[in-house]
Amino acid sequence: MTITITIIITIIITIKSASLRLPSSTTKEEIHEIVEKTLTELGISDCADVLIGGELIKGISGGQRKRTSVGVEIVTKPALLFLDEPTRYHYHNYFIIITLIIIIIIIIIIKWS
């Protein structure tokens, strides 16, 4: 017998929970600002209070789920973030990202020379 546990949680709660990884000196106002900015930049602020869902509960779309996952990482302000197929089927965007990666590598090489 398999027991499935579905966690009922919204996008905004998920991204706010990631803010726990921020420095303890971060104020509540700063956390609120970071979370709101992240939601807006990822285009998920309009569905921030929607359930994420799971096998038994319908929730957000697949794209919204992916952007929520990215948001959880962005909230912590990483120096570098690698994404698995963020531009799938968007070849123009893929070209731009590869170009930016090459530019970053060149800058690093020049700084270390």
- What's the pLDDT tens digit per position in 19-75? 788 888 888 888 888 888 888 888 888 877 777 777 777 877 777 888 888 888 888
Could you report how far apart the first and last alpha carbons of the chain are, in Å?
A: 61
Give the Cα separation of 66 and 60 in Å (integer): 10
pLDDT for residue 6: 46
User: Can you read off the two tokens belonging to residue 78?
Assistant: 């990483």
Residues in the chain: 113
Instruction: Work out the pLDDT band at 9, boundaries 50, 70, 90.
Output: low
pLDDT for residue 8: 54
pLDDT for residue 92: 64
Count of C-beta atoms within a 10 Å radius of residue 75: 23
List residues bridging with 10 in a β-sheet.
51
CB 39 within 8 A of CB 88: no
Give the Cα separation of 44 and 50 in Å (integer): 10
User: Can you read off the two tokens belonging to residue 63?
Assistant: 């794209």
Which residue is listed with tokens 């398999």? 2
Phi then psi for residue 10, to 5 deg, are: -100, 165
